[in-house]
Amino acid sequence: MLQWLSTMAYQPWKVYLVCTLLLLLSSFGLPVPEEVTLVSAGLVAFVGRSPEHFPPPSPGAPVVDAAVLAVVCTAAVFLSDLLIYGMGRRFGPRLRQTWLARRLISRKSWARAEKWTERHGGQVCWVFRFTPGVRFPGHLTCGIVKLPLWQFCLADGIATLVSVPSQILLVAHYGGAVLGFLKQFKVALAVALVVVVVGALLVRFLRRRRASGADEGAGEPDPGPVETPP
């Protein structure tokens, strides 16, 4: 993500547009965490703030402004959440039965979102904002249960203002330390990621195998009592 966005470091309007699209798609379940986009965008802004380390292609070339980027990303995240809320409020539970919703969201995530919404009301938007994997069903559930619009906007708006600009501005100002960390630990991070993925696949395989074995055992007919000859 960082390498891709870095190719647009001196085309700020492209960075703003790409970040908006990525954040919108992430809200709908794109397997690219929102934090990855925000941190990468902040690092691109750091590149523009550090011409002594990253010389521009030409003197006076336009750069990504960290403040503008923070405003654009904050608006994109909030409007994406509001769009999902509006879809749930307009179309109701029918959305849960669509093919895309069934593919993207597990039953466990739906149940968790419903439970938290019923228990905490508008305050649950804070939980959805900081819990990956529950944002889409959570915001959709807020609309389905007809949570008042002002409660949703207030809670989600405050949570967005706390989380989004802070990530971008901090990385844009201290990007050198972040880049140093990535260069130093990129091999360790890659190995850890491979171990996690392989472990998850192995656990999933063993669970499926155990479940299929249990189904085969349950499907075998009971032979009944065995009669022995006199």
How many C-beta atoms lie closer than 10 Å to residue 116's C-beta? 19
SS3 content of the chain, % helix, strand, coil (to 5): 75, 0, 25
Residue at 229 is within a domain? no
Residue at 148 is within a domain? yes
Residue at 149 is within a domain? yes
How many C-beta atoms lie closer than 10 Å to residue 188's C-beta? 9
- Please state which of the ranges 157-161, 211-215, 216-220 shows the lowest mean pLDDT: 216-220
The DSSP 8-state label assigned to residue 59 in this structure reads T
Residue at 44 is within a domain? yes
Residue at 29 is within a domain? yes
Tell me: pLDDT of 102 over 70: no
Mean pLDDT (the chain, rounded):
79
Residue at 159 is within a domain? yes
Give residue 117's pLDDT.
Answer: 72
Tell me: pLDDT of 82 over 90: yes
Which pTM was predicted?
0.70
Supply angle C-alpha 154, 156, 160, rounded to 5.
Answer: 115
Contact 76, 20 (CB under 8 A): yes
The pLDDT tens digits for 137-160 are: 778 888 887 888 988 899 899 989
Residue at 69 is within a domain? yes
Structural domain range at position 8 = 2-173
Give residue 106's pLDDT.
Answer: 62
Give residue 74's pLDDT.
Answer: 96
Structural domain count of the chain? 1
Residue at 230 is within a domain? no
